[in-house]
Chain A
Amino acid sequence: MPDTVTFKIKRQDSESSSSYWETFTIPYVPNSNVISCLMDIQANPINAKGEEVTPVVWESNCLEEVCGACTMVINGKVHQSCSALVDQLEKPIKLEPMSKFPVVRDLAVDRTRMFSALKKVQAWVNADGYHDLGPGDRLPQKHQETAYKLSECMTCGCCVEACPQYSSSNNFLGAAAISQSRLFNMHPTAKNMASERLDTLMQEGGIADCGNAQNCVEACPKSIPLTESIAEMGRQVSDKLWHNIFKA
């Protein structure tokens, strides 16, 4: 069993400053994950050169892979840092912020763009009100199984980090938002807005921007069938295009 673990962490003091690497070597403790090690650094912020530095900044909340906050690039792969177990990682462990979003500080990034995409695809049910209108529709178990899987998306950003098309120089919606449009287009009442969602997917930054690299589905920590969602929405979009042509 090793005595210590070494972390190489890509740090950045502010949005506009340049990044630098800093190394930390901390005592090895069994059953550690990346977050528990970042916490150890916080409680004793001394780098490998023995210098007292500011604790590393990262974003986290649930620590059980359901909130999506603590996503970062670990040894070159995007993942939640809470479920990244030290014993399973190659050493030294390299931590970097996600590259597709503006860095706030160190490992914390600003994923506003993903939440804006949810607005664009109108990822909600248009409710008549929150008073008592009785139960919703009865639905087959099969429907629930498909919808539940899609609904587990925590807007963590793994899919778009891994996507070669998604970049700061374009406005691609990304796999997560496309998959959410599928979820709402299959809901018994939210599908009343299906056509409007397809309009969004037909615009610049929509489904045509997908290059079919299929990295998204590999990267998704919840195994959401993202490529299946993209294919399904591609089909709905082309159906609508054909419909528009014949209508015209």
Chain B
Amino acid sequence: MSKQRVIVIGGGLAGLAATMKMAELGMSVLVVSFLPVKRSHSVCAQGGINGAVNIKGEGDSPDIHFYDTVKGGDFLAHQPLCKDMCHHAPYVINLMDRLGVTFNRTPEGNLDFRRFGGTLYHRTAFAGATTGQQLLYALDEQVRHYEVQGLVEKMEAHEYLGAVLNDDGRCVGAVIHNLRSGEIKAEKGDAVILATGGPGLVYGRSTNSMVCTGTAVTSAYLQGAKYGNGEFIQIHPSAIPGRDKLRLMSESARGEGGRVWVPKKAGDTRKPKEIPEAERFYFLEERYPLFGNLVPRDVGAREIYDICVNDKLGVNGEMKVYLDLTHHTREFLDHRLGGILEIYEKFTGVDPREEPMEIFPAVHYSMGGIWTDYTRTDEGLIDHQSPQNQMTSITGLYAAGEADYQYHGGNRLGANSLLSCIYTGLMMSPGVLNYVKNVTQAAEDVPETVYTASVKKWQESYTNINSMNGNENPYALHREMAEEMISNVLIVRENEKLKSTLDKINEFESRWKNVKCVDTTDWSNPVPSFINQLWNMIQLSKIITKGALLRDEFRGSHYKPEFDLNQPSDFRPETYLEFEKQKETGNIQEDAFAPEHLAYMERFSENNIKWLKTTIATYQNGGPDISYEAVDTSLIAPRPRKYD
């Protein structure tokens, strides 16, 4: 067979982890990236990477990590993948340590670990407060080494437009747009991996970087790939307001003891330090005595919304609360949180070591993404040799990292994203190579006409974009669309508003046709590319909004007050396990449960039968057709979540 290669789209943690692993296994890899890979969005991850190394002797284990992850995701995550990931997490951290990541250390010289949301253990390894940057740099360095050796080729300042499919619908390459010369051409590849991150820009301003448009995965969806759990968008409780971007204030600030509070008196105009302790409302600590400020993100964002909107206790009456670190010494803060405190100070002009920070919730992460497959073993782990792992519903087209959908269910735990990116990139590689070795026809031998036809289609599409001469500025239209999404598809979701947003999105789609290509020059022109991205963002906003409209329940980040099952405050999740056990034996001892508990458990059980499923969006007749698929929950029985 002729020389084969794999194309990796995206140079963040998932893409580079897969690249280096496949190169190690001897495969040629072409990396395509919008920017030099060292500038990928992974650099924005701050707080750390999870792995149950149990360095503090707390009795932590991969199985507890697995449980926390599945519970954090409100049981919508695929359990065999989560289990395999959590069991490999200590190895991933050790590997990154060997590759030179400057993780913080204990006095004895071991890796140090801190606490993060959704767990009671010190499980998060960290490098100051720029852990994502440090992890990415280590992978970037390994990949550069392979580049020097000739196994890896990089095409930076290039954008993926779509997959090249042969007559059987198998992916045999990618159509690539040179962002400088404007040239559109096909690259042959025996498999293509989309490691293109999340879609934050659908919401305009988010904690995401400028490249996070979700265009590549949307392109796959438009070509027929299934999209999973689109409506599950994580809102991070703590961000710094900004005109161009909502900068993240890492959960590690709370992991290191940061306390969230508001003045007890609505409209209190005093400066935060003038408000005495007794007049401060530490609402997370009060409402969640067990997890306190480290409740999972969906819970934290909802509580901040509740305190600001329903109780009207937000700072200055706005959607803002205090995040207070001022009880720590400057030395402690600089050593463990330096990077993020500098960012806060740079952008707000306020020193967070002296004054409590003002923070608010912002769009942060998509649990949903392109649908991908896997092969489980009898033990409930993953068969790492299977070519099905991470394959989308288009044969030969793979996805990894935030671009996929399986690991985080309805809500991702902090510091699990860096883990899922690196783990997935490494885990999938042997299977991808097994697929590549066994293809019936290598990309080199696929008739040239298959590629020229794909290229022609995209060239025509860009010629059309270049000739668009309507009266809408594409960037202004994007701002408007984002406002609509921020207003109605955020923390609290109501069906009436979701319906009207879907109508609005259809209007945006019509207005897109009236866009003006405000730059038609042929050198390094970002405008046609943005107009194409905007089309894809409109399609993706339909997936998110329609999925949210049809899912009539409250799960993880998807909160519909109308369908809240109203868990009684004195209910314990173990009671539900007992109830399920009795149900299985066909003999429920009704008087063993309090009547309101029994009623709640029946509601919970019915709701799961109906809704504990993956949302699948497929592109049909110009929009998403929504259906539902079973989730593998065979390892940890679903139960009500509780964090107090």
User: CB within 8 Å of B: which residues of A?
Assistant: 13-15, 29, 31-33, 35-36, 39, 42-45, 52, 54-55, 57, 59-69, 82-83, 85, 104-105, 108, 111, 115, 118-119, 122-127, 129-130, 132-136, 138-141, 143-145, 147-148, 151-152, 154-155, 184, 187, 189-190
Contacts and interface: CB of A to CB of B under 8 A. Distances in A.
B183 to A, nearest CB: 15
Nearest to B128: A148
Contacts of A69: 35-36, 39
B102 A62 contact: no
A54 B346 CA distance: 31
Contacts, number: 191
20 contacts: A15-B523, A39-B244, A55-B519, A62-B210, A64-B245, A67-B35, A82-B245, A83-B347, A105-B523, A105-B524, A119-B148, A124-B100, A127-B99, A132-B95, A133-B98, A136-B97, A140-B109, A141-B104, A151-B137, A189-B98
B526 A57 contact: yes
Chain B CB within 10 A, most for which of A44, A45, A67, A127: A67
Contact of B105 (A82, A118, A144): A144
Contacts of A144: 102-105
A13 B523 contact: yes
Contact of A31 (B91, B100, B103, B243): B243
Contact of A61 (B39, B94, B110, B426): B39
A82 B210 CA distance: 12
B98 A39 contact: no
Contacts of B527: 54-55
Contacts of B476: 43-44
A118 to B, nearest CB: 6
Interface in B73-130: 91, 94-95, 97-100, 102-111, 127-128, 130
B533 to A, nearest CB: 13
B41 A138 contact: no
Interface string B527-548: 1000000000000000000000
Nearest to B148: A119
Contacts of A118: 141, 144
Contacts of B24: 129-130
Which bracket fits the contact residues of B? 35 or more
A124 B23 CA distance: 15
A66 B133 contact: yes
Nearest to A114: B36
Chain A CB within 10 A, most for which of B44, B103, B210, B527: B210
Contact of B209 (A43, A67, A108, A154): A67
Contacts of A61: 35, 39-41, 209-211
B50 interface: no
B483 to A, nearest CB: 13
A29 to B, nearest CB: 6
Given A55-B527, A67-B209, A187-B100, A62 B95 contact: no
Contacts of A154: 38-39, 43, 133
Given A127-B98, A129-B24, A148-B102, A62 B145 contact: no
Interface in B200-225: 209-211
